[in-house]
Structure 1
Amino acid sequence: MRLLRAERRGFAGSAEVLADDGHRADVAAYVADMARPFGGESGGDLAGQSYGEMARELVAAVVSPEEPVDLLVLAFSVHDVWPGRATATYLSHLCPGTPLSFAICDQGSAAPFTALRVVRAHGARRALLLVVEQASLPYDAGAPLPAEHRGVAMLYGGGAGARVTDLRQHADVAPGAVPGLASLAVAELSGGPVPVVVSEALAAVWPGRPEHALVSQGQPTTGVWWELTAALDGGADVVVVADYDHRLRYLSVAAVSSVER
Protein backbone atom coordinates (compact mmCIF):
# COMPACT_ATOMS: atom_id res chain seq x y z
CA MET A 1 0.00 0.00 0.00
CA ARG A 2 1.30 3.42 -0.95
CA LEU A 3 0.31 6.83 0.28
CA LEU A 4 -1.43 8.27 -2.76
CA ARG A 5 -2.65 11.52 -1.26
CA ALA A 6 -2.82 13.24 2.12
CA GLU A 7 -4.59 16.26 3.54
CA ARG A 8 -4.23 17.98 6.90
CA ARG A 9 -6.58 20.62 8.23
CA GLY A 10 -7.27 22.65 11.32
CA PHE A 11 -10.83 23.49 12.35
CA ALA A 12 -11.91 26.60 14.23
CA GLY A 13 -14.85 27.14 16.56
CA SER A 14 -17.41 24.53 17.46
CA ALA A 15 -19.34 21.95 15.48
CA GLU A 16 -22.36 23.03 13.47
CA VAL A 17 -24.49 20.51 15.34
CA LEU A 18 -24.01 22.45 18.59
CA ALA A 19 -26.00 25.32 17.13
CA ASP A 20 -29.03 23.20 18.01
CA ASP A 21 -29.82 24.03 21.65
CA GLY A 22 -31.71 20.79 22.18
CA HIS A 23 -28.87 18.61 20.93
CA ARG A 24 -26.31 20.54 22.95
CA ALA A 25 -28.37 20.07 26.13
CA ASP A 26 -28.86 16.36 25.47
CA VAL A 27 -25.17 15.73 24.87
CA ALA A 28 -24.17 17.78 27.93
CA ALA A 29 -26.50 15.68 30.09
CA TYR A 30 -25.20 12.44 28.56
CA VAL A 31 -21.55 13.38 29.13
CA ALA A 32 -22.29 14.41 32.73
CA ASP A 33 -24.00 11.08 33.40
CA MET A 34 -21.07 9.14 31.94
CA ALA A 35 -18.41 11.11 33.84
CA ARG A 36 -20.11 11.14 37.25
CA PRO A 37 -19.41 7.50 38.28
CA PHE A 38 -15.70 8.11 37.70
CA GLY A 39 -15.58 11.25 39.82
CA GLY A 40 -15.65 13.60 36.87
CA GLU A 41 -17.79 16.68 37.14
CA SER A 42 -19.03 18.20 33.92
CA GLY A 43 -19.16 21.97 33.88
CA GLY A 44 -19.32 24.91 31.54
CA ASP A 45 -20.95 25.24 28.18
CA LEU A 46 -20.49 22.34 25.79
CA ALA A 47 -18.13 23.16 22.94
CA GLY A 48 -15.86 21.31 20.55
CA GLN A 49 -15.90 19.59 17.20
CA SER A 50 -17.74 16.69 15.63
CA TYR A 51 -15.50 14.18 13.88
CA GLY A 52 -18.23 13.61 11.33
CA GLU A 53 -18.10 17.26 10.30
CA MET A 54 -14.30 17.39 10.35
CA ALA A 55 -13.82 14.17 8.41
CA ARG A 56 -16.51 15.09 5.90
CA GLU A 57 -14.23 17.86 4.64
CA LEU A 58 -11.18 15.62 4.67
CA VAL A 59 -12.90 12.87 2.70
CA ALA A 60 -13.97 15.35 0.04
CA ALA A 61 -10.42 16.68 -0.18
CA VAL A 62 -8.62 13.38 -0.78
CA VAL A 63 -11.11 11.00 -2.45
CA SER A 64 -12.52 11.61 -5.91
CA PRO A 65 -15.58 9.82 -7.36
CA GLU A 66 -13.20 8.07 -9.79
CA GLU A 67 -11.28 6.51 -6.87
CA PRO A 68 -13.82 4.49 -4.84
CA VAL A 69 -12.51 3.38 -1.47
CA ASP A 70 -12.84 -0.18 -0.13
CA LEU A 71 -11.87 0.44 3.51
CA LEU A 72 -12.24 3.48 5.78
CA VAL A 73 -10.68 3.56 9.24
CA LEU A 74 -11.28 6.41 11.69
CA ALA A 75 -8.71 6.76 14.50
CA PHE A 76 -9.21 9.02 17.51
CA SER A 77 -8.61 9.28 21.24
CA VAL A 78 -10.73 12.18 22.57
CA HIS A 79 -14.45 11.64 22.00
CA ASP A 80 -16.34 14.20 19.95
CA VAL A 81 -19.47 16.25 20.65
CA TRP A 82 -21.79 13.74 19.05
CA PRO A 83 -20.99 10.56 21.02
CA GLY A 84 -24.24 8.85 20.03
CA ARG A 85 -23.50 8.79 16.30
CA ALA A 86 -21.75 5.89 14.56
CA THR A 87 -19.33 8.25 12.85
CA ALA A 88 -17.46 5.66 10.80
CA THR A 89 -20.74 4.41 9.32
CA TYR A 90 -21.79 7.98 8.56
CA LEU A 91 -18.50 8.61 6.76
CA SER A 92 -18.86 5.43 4.73
CA HIS A 93 -22.11 6.84 3.41
CA LEU A 94 -20.28 10.01 2.30
CA CYS A 95 -17.18 8.34 0.87
CA PRO A 96 -17.03 7.20 -2.78
CA GLY A 97 -17.33 3.41 -2.83
CA THR A 98 -19.37 3.20 0.41
CA PRO A 99 -16.46 1.33 2.00
CA LEU A 100 -16.35 -1.07 4.91
CA SER A 101 -15.70 1.29 7.81
CA PHE A 102 -14.97 1.22 11.51
CA ALA A 103 -13.30 3.24 14.23
CA ILE A 104 -10.30 2.52 16.45
CA CYS A 105 -10.23 4.26 19.82
CA ASP A 106 -9.41 3.53 23.49
CA GLN A 107 -5.76 3.11 22.51
CA GLY A 108 -4.69 6.69 23.09
CA SER A 109 -2.14 7.97 20.61
CA ALA A 110 -1.43 4.41 19.45
CA ALA A 111 -4.79 4.30 17.62
CA PRO A 112 -3.51 5.68 14.27
CA PHE A 113 -0.63 3.18 14.23
CA THR A 114 -3.04 0.31 14.92
CA ALA A 115 -5.31 1.66 12.17
CA LEU A 116 -2.37 1.68 9.76
CA ARG A 117 -1.62 -1.94 10.63
CA VAL A 118 -5.22 -2.80 9.77
CA VAL A 119 -4.97 -0.92 6.47
CA ARG A 120 -1.79 -2.80 5.53
CA ALA A 121 -3.20 -6.21 6.48
CA HIS A 122 -6.65 -5.83 4.94
CA GLY A 123 -5.59 -5.95 1.30
CA ALA A 124 -8.06 -3.30 0.13
CA ARG A 125 -7.54 -1.80 -3.32
CA ARG A 126 -7.83 1.65 -1.77
CA ALA A 127 -8.07 2.51 1.92
CA LEU A 128 -8.66 5.80 3.70
CA LEU A 129 -7.17 6.46 7.14
CA LEU A 130 -8.59 9.43 9.05
CA VAL A 131 -6.84 10.64 12.22
CA VAL A 132 -8.79 13.29 14.12
CA GLU A 133 -8.80 15.04 17.47
CA GLN A 134 -10.85 17.83 18.98
CA ALA A 135 -9.66 20.04 21.78
CA SER A 136 -12.60 20.55 24.13
CA LEU A 137 -14.07 18.42 26.92
CA PRO A 138 -16.50 19.65 29.59
CA TYR A 139 -14.69 17.72 32.34
CA ASP A 140 -11.14 16.98 33.49
CA ALA A 141 -9.93 13.99 31.49
CA GLY A 142 -6.74 13.60 33.49
CA ALA A 143 -4.69 13.81 30.29
CA PRO A 144 -3.47 16.72 28.17
CA LEU A 145 -5.97 17.85 25.56
CA PRO A 146 -4.97 18.89 22.05
CA ALA A 147 -4.20 22.55 21.49
CA GLU A 148 -6.37 22.70 18.37
CA HIS A 149 -9.04 20.80 16.49
CA ARG A 150 -7.12 18.98 13.74
CA GLY A 151 -7.48 16.15 11.27
CA VAL A 152 -5.22 14.25 8.88
CA ALA A 153 -6.50 12.11 6.00
CA MET A 154 -4.29 9.58 4.21
CA LEU A 155 -5.45 7.71 1.11
CA TYR A 156 -3.57 4.47 0.48
CA GLY A 157 -3.59 2.27 -2.60
CA GLY A 158 -1.52 0.84 -5.43
CA GLY A 159 0.60 2.83 -7.83
CA ALA A 160 3.05 5.64 -7.20
CA GLY A 161 3.47 7.13 -3.75
CA ALA A 162 5.26 6.76 -0.44
CA ARG A 163 5.19 3.27 1.04
CA VAL A 164 4.93 2.21 4.68
CA THR A 165 8.07 0.09 4.81
CA ASP A 166 7.82 -0.99 8.45
CA LEU A 167 5.56 -0.52 11.45
CA ARG A 168 6.14 -1.74 14.99
CA GLN A 169 4.06 -1.52 18.14
CA HIS A 170 5.14 -2.59 21.59
CA ALA A 171 2.68 -2.99 24.46
CA ASP A 172 3.27 -2.44 28.19
CA VAL A 173 6.55 -0.57 27.78
CA ALA A 174 7.66 1.06 31.04
CA PRO A 175 9.03 4.61 30.69
CA GLY A 176 12.50 3.45 31.66
CA ALA A 177 12.55 0.95 28.81
CA VAL A 178 11.48 3.46 26.16
CA PRO A 179 14.87 5.02 25.29
CA GLY A 180 16.57 1.74 24.45
CA LEU A 181 13.65 0.28 22.55
CA ALA A 182 12.91 3.51 20.67
CA SER A 183 16.56 4.05 19.74
CA LEU A 184 16.83 0.53 18.35
CA ALA A 185 13.59 0.76 16.37
CA VAL A 186 14.37 4.16 14.86
CA ALA A 187 17.90 3.08 13.91
CA GLU A 188 16.65 -0.09 12.22
CA LEU A 189 13.75 1.58 10.43
CA SER A 190 15.59 4.68 9.25
CA GLY A 191 18.76 3.09 7.95
CA GLY A 192 20.53 6.43 8.17
CA PRO A 193 20.12 10.16 8.87
CA VAL A 194 16.50 10.70 7.79
CA PRO A 195 13.77 12.96 9.22
CA VAL A 196 12.43 11.61 12.51
CA VAL A 197 9.21 12.92 14.04
CA VAL A 198 8.42 12.14 17.68
CA SER A 199 5.53 13.11 19.91
CA GLU A 200 5.89 15.28 22.99
CA ALA A 201 5.05 12.27 25.15
CA LEU A 202 7.88 10.25 23.64
CA ALA A 203 10.34 13.14 23.80
CA ALA A 204 9.60 13.51 27.53
CA VAL A 205 10.94 10.01 28.27
CA TRP A 206 13.62 9.84 25.55
CA PRO A 207 16.30 12.43 26.35
CA GLY A 208 18.79 10.70 24.07
CA ARG A 209 16.65 10.90 20.95
CA PRO A 210 18.38 11.90 17.68
CA GLU A 211 19.42 15.54 17.73
CA HIS A 212 17.67 16.22 14.43
CA ALA A 213 14.36 14.72 15.59
CA LEU A 214 11.37 17.03 15.27
CA VAL A 215 9.08 17.05 18.30
CA SER A 216 5.44 17.63 17.37
CA GLN A 217 3.79 20.08 19.73
CA GLY A 218 0.35 20.26 21.30
CA GLN A 219 -1.41 17.50 19.35
CA PRO A 220 -1.23 14.12 21.13
CA THR A 221 -2.95 12.09 18.40
CA THR A 222 -2.57 13.94 15.10
CA GLY A 223 0.79 15.59 15.76
CA VAL A 224 3.25 13.10 14.26
CA TRP A 225 0.97 12.44 11.28
CA TRP A 226 0.61 16.16 10.64
CA GLU A 227 4.39 16.50 10.53
CA LEU A 228 4.76 13.32 8.44
CA THR A 229 2.64 14.76 5.64
CA ALA A 230 4.56 18.04 5.84
CA ALA A 231 7.91 16.23 5.57
CA LEU A 232 6.79 14.18 2.57
CA ASP A 233 5.39 17.29 0.90
CA GLY A 234 8.76 18.91 1.53
CA GLY A 235 10.53 16.24 -0.49
CA ALA A 236 11.81 13.86 2.21
CA ASP A 237 12.54 10.38 0.83
CA VAL A 238 12.13 8.55 4.14
CA VAL A 239 10.40 9.70 7.33
CA VAL A 240 10.20 7.85 10.65
CA VAL A 241 7.38 8.68 13.07
CA ALA A 242 7.34 7.52 16.68
CA ASP A 243 4.97 7.93 19.60
CA TYR A 244 4.58 6.80 23.19
CA ASP A 245 1.38 6.78 25.22
CA HIS A 246 2.55 7.05 28.81
CA ARG A 247 -0.84 6.16 30.32
CA LEU A 248 -1.38 3.01 28.26
CA ARG A 249 2.35 2.35 27.73
CA TYR A 250 2.24 1.74 23.99
CA LEU A 251 5.36 2.49 21.95
CA SER A 252 4.71 2.81 18.21
CA VAL A 253 7.17 3.43 15.38
CA ALA A 254 6.60 3.53 11.61
CA ALA A 255 8.74 4.29 8.57
CA VAL A 256 7.38 5.76 5.34
CA SER A 257 9.54 5.84 2.20
CA SER A 258 8.99 7.43 -1.19
CA VAL A 259 11.94 5.51 -2.66
CA GLU A 260 12.52 1.78 -3.11
CA ARG A 261 14.76 0.36 -0.41
Structure 2
Amino acid sequence: MPALMSACAVVSPSGEPALSPTELAEFYHDMAAPYGTPVDEERVASGTRVAHRALADQLAAVRTVNAPPDLLILTHALPDLHPFTAVAPHLDRLLGGGALAFGISQQGVSGTFTALRLVDRYQRSGRCATAAVAVLEQSTLPCPHPHVPTDGLIDSGVLLEFGAGGGPVLRGIEAFAPEERPGPRLAELAAEDPEGTLLVLGPCVDDDGGTTDRVAARTDTYGTGVWLALADNLRTWAEQYRTVVLCDTDPESGRSHLAVLRVPEQD
Protein backbone atom coordinates (compact mmCIF):
# COMPACT_ATOMS: atom_id res chain seq x y z
CA MET A 1 0.00 0.00 0.00
CA PRO A 2 1.27 3.50 -0.80
CA ALA A 3 2.96 5.35 2.05
CA LEU A 4 2.96 9.15 2.07
CA MET A 5 6.68 9.94 2.24
CA SER A 6 6.47 13.70 1.75
CA ALA A 7 4.03 16.55 1.22
CA CYS A 8 4.81 20.16 0.33
CA ALA A 9 2.71 23.17 -0.60
CA VAL A 10 2.86 26.67 -2.05
CA VAL A 11 0.37 29.43 -1.31
CA SER A 12 -0.03 32.77 -3.09
CA PRO A 13 3.22 32.81 -5.10
CA SER A 14 4.05 35.74 -7.37
CA GLY A 15 2.18 36.11 -10.64
CA GLU A 16 3.00 36.18 -14.34
CA PRO A 17 4.15 39.70 -15.33
CA ALA A 18 4.89 38.59 -18.91
CA LEU A 19 1.18 38.33 -19.71
CA SER A 20 -0.78 41.57 -19.51
CA PRO A 21 -4.41 41.67 -18.31
CA THR A 22 -5.47 42.99 -21.73
CA GLU A 23 -3.82 40.10 -23.58
CA LEU A 24 -5.39 37.60 -21.20
CA ALA A 25 -8.86 39.16 -21.50
CA GLU A 26 -8.61 39.09 -25.30
CA PHE A 27 -7.67 35.42 -25.16
CA TYR A 28 -10.65 34.62 -22.94
CA HIS A 29 -13.01 36.57 -25.19
CA ASP A 30 -11.84 34.60 -28.24
CA MET A 31 -12.30 31.33 -26.38
CA ALA A 32 -15.70 32.15 -24.85
CA ALA A 33 -17.36 34.04 -27.71
CA PRO A 34 -18.52 30.95 -29.67
CA TYR A 35 -20.41 29.79 -26.58
CA GLY A 36 -21.94 33.17 -25.69
CA THR A 37 -20.15 33.22 -22.33
CA PRO A 38 -19.43 36.72 -20.96
CA VAL A 39 -15.94 37.56 -19.73
CA ASP A 40 -15.47 39.77 -16.68
CA GLU A 41 -12.53 41.94 -17.76
CA GLU A 42 -12.32 43.65 -14.36
CA ARG A 43 -11.98 40.25 -12.69
CA VAL A 44 -9.21 39.31 -15.11
CA ALA A 45 -7.40 42.64 -14.66
CA SER A 46 -7.42 42.35 -10.87
CA GLY A 47 -6.34 38.70 -10.91
CA THR A 48 -2.94 37.41 -9.82
CA ARG A 49 -2.31 35.58 -13.13
CA VAL A 50 -0.55 32.60 -11.56
CA ALA A 51 -0.77 29.72 -14.03
CA HIS A 52 -0.52 26.03 -13.19
CA ARG A 53 2.96 25.98 -14.69
CA ALA A 54 4.10 28.63 -12.19
CA LEU A 55 2.63 26.62 -9.32
CA ALA A 56 4.40 23.50 -10.61
CA ASP A 57 7.70 25.41 -10.74
CA GLN A 58 7.25 26.51 -7.13
CA LEU A 59 6.38 23.00 -5.93
CA ALA A 60 9.44 21.53 -7.61
CA ALA A 61 11.60 24.18 -5.90
CA VAL A 62 10.37 23.35 -2.37
CA ARG A 63 10.24 19.57 -2.84
CA THR A 64 12.29 17.55 -0.34
CA VAL A 65 12.41 14.18 -2.16
CA ASN A 66 15.39 13.82 -4.49
CA ALA A 67 14.48 10.78 -6.60
CA PRO A 68 12.09 11.13 -9.57
CA PRO A 69 8.73 9.36 -9.24
CA ASP A 70 7.65 6.48 -11.48
CA LEU A 71 4.11 7.87 -11.76
CA LEU A 72 3.01 11.52 -11.75
CA ILE A 73 -0.64 12.60 -11.73
CA LEU A 74 -1.69 16.25 -11.85
CA THR A 75 -5.20 17.23 -10.77
CA HIS A 76 -7.17 20.48 -10.69
CA ALA A 77 -10.77 21.27 -9.84
CA LEU A 78 -10.76 24.69 -11.54
CA PRO A 79 -9.33 25.54 -14.99
CA ASP A 80 -5.80 26.71 -15.63
CA LEU A 81 -4.98 30.31 -16.48
CA HIS A 82 -4.07 28.92 -19.93
CA PRO A 83 -6.62 26.18 -20.67
CA PHE A 84 -5.48 23.09 -22.61
CA THR A 85 -1.89 23.45 -21.42
CA ALA A 86 -0.18 20.13 -20.59
CA VAL A 87 1.57 20.88 -17.30
CA ALA A 88 2.14 17.28 -16.13
CA PRO A 89 5.03 16.64 -18.57
CA HIS A 90 6.61 19.94 -17.53
CA LEU A 91 6.42 19.00 -13.84
CA ASP A 92 7.78 15.54 -14.65
CA ARG A 93 10.87 17.14 -16.19
CA LEU A 94 11.36 19.30 -13.10
CA LEU A 95 11.13 16.24 -10.83
CA GLY A 96 13.75 14.31 -12.76
CA GLY A 97 11.91 12.97 -15.80
CA GLY A 98 10.93 9.47 -16.84
CA ALA A 99 7.57 9.16 -15.06
CA LEU A 100 4.30 8.14 -16.60
CA ALA A 101 2.77 11.62 -16.36
CA PHE A 102 -0.78 12.74 -17.05
CA GLY A 103 -3.52 15.03 -15.74
CA ILE A 104 -7.05 14.56 -14.39
CA SER A 105 -9.63 17.26 -15.05
CA GLN A 106 -13.40 17.65 -15.35
CA GLN A 107 -13.89 15.85 -12.02
CA GLY A 108 -13.89 18.85 -9.70
CA VAL A 109 -12.92 18.14 -6.11
CA SER A 110 -13.19 14.41 -6.86
CA GLY A 111 -10.11 14.48 -9.10
CA THR A 112 -7.50 14.16 -6.35
CA PHE A 113 -9.26 11.18 -4.81
CA THR A 114 -9.31 9.55 -8.26
CA ALA A 115 -5.56 10.17 -8.45
CA LEU A 116 -5.05 8.42 -5.11
CA ARG A 117 -7.02 5.42 -6.33
CA LEU A 118 -4.77 5.23 -9.38
CA VAL A 119 -1.63 5.46 -7.25
CA ASP A 120 -2.91 2.60 -5.11
CA ARG A 121 -3.79 0.44 -8.13
CA TYR A 122 -0.53 1.12 -9.93
CA GLN A 123 1.53 0.24 -6.87
CA ARG A 124 -0.47 -2.89 -6.06
CA SER A 125 -0.05 -4.11 -9.64
CA GLY A 126 3.70 -3.52 -9.56
CA ARG A 127 3.59 -0.83 -12.22
CA CYS A 128 5.19 1.80 -9.98
CA ALA A 129 7.21 1.93 -6.78
CA THR A 130 6.96 5.67 -6.23
CA ALA A 131 4.31 8.18 -7.26
CA ALA A 132 3.55 11.89 -6.99
CA VAL A 133 0.19 13.66 -7.02
CA ALA A 134 0.11 17.41 -7.71
CA VAL A 135 -3.03 19.37 -6.83
CA LEU A 136 -3.12 22.82 -8.45
CA GLU A 137 -5.51 25.75 -8.13
CA GLN A 138 -5.26 29.21 -9.69
CA SER A 139 -7.55 32.11 -8.85
CA THR A 140 -7.77 34.24 -12.02
CA LEU A 141 -11.10 33.13 -13.49
CA PRO A 142 -12.63 34.96 -16.47
CA CYS A 143 -16.16 34.61 -15.14
CA PRO A 144 -17.69 33.82 -11.73
CA HIS A 145 -17.82 30.20 -10.71
CA PRO A 146 -21.01 29.37 -8.77
CA HIS A 147 -19.21 27.56 -5.95
CA VAL A 148 -15.94 29.45 -5.61
CA PRO A 149 -15.76 31.33 -2.27
CA THR A 150 -17.11 34.83 -2.69
CA ASP A 151 -14.67 36.30 -0.17
CA GLY A 152 -11.66 35.41 -2.30
CA LEU A 153 -9.72 32.48 -3.70
CA ILE A 154 -5.98 31.99 -3.32
CA ASP A 155 -3.48 30.47 -5.71
CA SER A 156 -2.24 27.23 -4.18
CA GLY A 157 -0.60 23.93 -4.98
CA VAL A 158 0.24 20.71 -3.16
CA LEU A 159 2.63 17.89 -4.05
CA LEU A 160 2.08 14.51 -2.36
CA GLU A 161 4.79 11.87 -2.84
CA PHE A 162 4.23 8.17 -2.18
CA GLY A 163 6.53 5.18 -1.81
CA ALA A 164 6.64 1.77 -0.19
CA GLY A 165 7.35 3.03 3.34
CA GLY A 166 8.44 5.92 5.51
CA GLY A 167 5.12 7.59 6.28
CA PRO A 168 1.38 7.18 6.84
CA VAL A 169 -0.09 4.41 4.70
CA LEU A 170 -3.04 4.96 2.36
CA ARG A 171 -5.45 2.33 3.64
CA GLY A 172 -8.52 3.16 1.61
CA ILE A 173 -10.45 5.63 -0.55
CA GLU A 174 -14.23 5.66 -0.43
CA ALA A 175 -16.82 7.42 -2.61
CA PHE A 176 -20.37 8.54 -1.88
CA ALA A 177 -23.12 9.26 -4.40
CA PRO A 178 -24.72 12.74 -4.33
CA GLU A 179 -27.66 11.45 -2.31
CA GLU A 180 -25.38 9.84 0.29
CA ARG A 181 -24.02 11.63 3.35
CA PRO A 182 -20.42 10.89 4.37
CA GLY A 183 -21.16 11.89 7.98
CA PRO A 184 -22.25 8.44 9.22
CA ARG A 185 -19.16 6.81 7.73
CA LEU A 186 -16.94 9.47 9.31
CA ALA A 187 -18.54 8.75 12.67
CA GLU A 188 -17.98 5.03 12.17
CA LEU A 189 -14.30 5.51 11.39
CA ALA A 190 -13.87 7.89 14.32
CA ALA A 191 -15.54 5.46 16.73
CA GLU A 192 -12.89 2.83 16.00
CA ASP A 193 -10.27 4.99 17.72
CA PRO A 194 -11.77 8.28 18.97
CA GLU A 195 -8.63 9.64 20.61
CA GLY A 196 -6.28 8.50 17.85
CA THR A 197 -8.28 9.77 14.85
CA LEU A 198 -8.26 13.16 13.16
CA LEU A 199 -10.89 14.26 10.64
CA VAL A 200 -9.78 16.78 7.99
CA LEU A 201 -12.92 18.18 6.39
CA GLY A 202 -13.73 20.25 3.34
CA PRO A 203 -16.22 23.13 3.67
CA CYS A 204 -19.18 21.21 2.20
CA VAL A 205 -18.78 18.03 4.25
CA ASP A 206 -21.66 16.87 6.43
CA ASP A 207 -19.83 16.13 9.70
CA ASP A 208 -21.12 13.46 12.08
CA GLY A 209 -17.75 12.69 13.64
CA GLY A 210 -18.83 13.23 17.25
CA THR A 211 -16.18 14.60 19.58
CA THR A 212 -13.24 13.32 17.56
CA ASP A 213 -10.60 15.95 16.74
CA ARG A 214 -11.19 17.66 13.44
CA VAL A 215 -9.62 20.31 11.22
CA ALA A 216 -11.60 22.40 8.73
CA ALA A 217 -10.05 23.26 5.37
CA ARG A 218 -9.37 26.94 4.82
CA THR A 219 -12.27 28.80 3.25
CA ASP A 220 -10.26 30.60 0.55
CA THR A 221 -9.66 27.37 -1.39
CA TYR A 222 -11.87 25.22 -3.60
CA GLY A 223 -10.16 21.90 -4.33
CA THR A 224 -6.84 22.18 -2.48
CA GLY A 225 -8.05 22.85 1.08
CA VAL A 226 -7.77 19.43 2.76
CA TRP A 227 -4.50 18.70 0.93
CA LEU A 228 -2.97 22.02 2.01
CA ALA A 229 -3.84 21.12 5.60
CA LEU A 230 -2.19 17.73 5.16
CA ALA A 231 0.97 19.20 3.65
CA ASP A 232 1.26 21.82 6.38
CA ASN A 233 0.80 19.34 9.24
CA LEU A 234 1.93 15.92 8.00
CA ARG A 235 4.77 15.41 10.47
CA THR A 236 2.85 16.74 13.47
CA TRP A 237 -0.25 14.69 12.73
CA ALA A 238 1.82 11.53 12.21
CA GLU A 239 3.16 11.99 15.74
CA GLN A 240 -0.19 12.84 17.37
CA TYR A 241 -2.66 10.51 15.62
CA ARG A 242 -2.86 6.92 14.43
CA THR A 243 -5.45 7.65 11.74
CA VAL A 244 -6.04 10.73 9.59
CA VAL A 245 -9.23 10.84 7.49
CA LEU A 246 -9.47 13.43 4.72
CA CYS A 247 -12.98 14.07 3.39
CA ASP A 248 -14.26 16.53 0.83
CA THR A 249 -17.48 17.09 -1.10
CA ASP A 250 -17.65 18.47 -4.61
CA PRO A 251 -20.23 21.30 -4.49
CA GLU A 252 -21.01 20.97 -8.21
CA SER A 253 -21.84 17.25 -8.35
CA GLY A 254 -22.58 16.62 -4.66
CA ARG A 255 -20.24 13.61 -4.67
CA SER A 256 -18.16 13.05 -1.55
CA HIS A 257 -14.93 11.13 -1.08
CA LEU A 258 -12.72 10.21 1.84
CA ALA A 259 -9.17 8.89 2.12
CA VAL A 260 -7.85 7.07 5.17
CA LEU A 261 -4.18 7.36 6.19
CA ARG A 262 -2.89 5.10 8.95
CA VAL A 263 0.38 5.70 10.78
CA PRO A 264 2.37 2.43 11.06
CA GLU A 265 3.01 1.20 14.59
CA GLN A 266 6.53 1.80 15.79
CA ASP A 267 8.60 -1.24 16.74
With normalisation by structure 1, the TM-score equals 0.85
Cα distance in 2 between the residues matched to 1:169 and 1:192: 22
* Per-residue deviation, residues 41-100 of structure 1 (Å, max 9, x unmatched): 3322264211111112212433654x1211111111111222242111221222213311
Question: Which one of the candidate residues 136, 142, 160 is aligned to 1:138?
Answer: 142
Whether 2:26 is the aligned partner of 1:19: answer no
Cα distance in 1 between the residues matched to 2:49 and 2:155: 8
Q: Aligned partner of 1:32: which letter?
A: H
**Residue number in structure 2 paired with 1:127:** 131
Unaligned runs of at least 5 residues, structure 2: none
Q: Which runs of 4+ in 1 moved over 4 A?
A: none
* Per-residue deviation, residues 208-235 of structure 1 (Å, max 9, x unmatched): 4434322212212111112223443212
Shift of 1:186: 4.9
Q: How does 1:108-187 map to 2 (within 5 A)?
A: 108-123=108-123, 124-145=128-149, 147-171=153-177, 173-174=178-179, 177-178=180-181, 181-187=182-188
With normalisation by structure 2, the TM-score equals 0.83
* Cα contact 1:133–1:221 (8 A) shared by 2: yes
* Per-residue deviation, residues 168-203 of structure 1 (Å, max 9, x unmatched): 1223x12xx31xx4322552377222110111111x
Unaligned runs of at least 5 residues, structure 1: none
**Residue number in structure 2 paired with 1:87:** 87
Secondary structure at 1:49 match in 2: coil
Moved more, 43-52 or 240-249: 43-52
Secondary structure at 2:204 match in 1: helix
* Cα contact 2:72–2:88 (8 A) shared by 1: yes
* Superposition RMSD in Å: 2.4
Aligned length in residues: 248
Whether 2:201 is the aligned partner of 1:195: answer no
**Residue number in structure 2 paired with 1:61:** 62
* Cα contact 2:7–2:234 (8 A) shared by 1: no
Percent identical: 24
Do the aligned partners of residues 185 and 195 (structure 1) sit closer, same or farther apart at CA in structure 2, a change above 3 Å counting?
Answer: closer
* Cα contact 1:11–1:54 (8 A) shared by 2: no
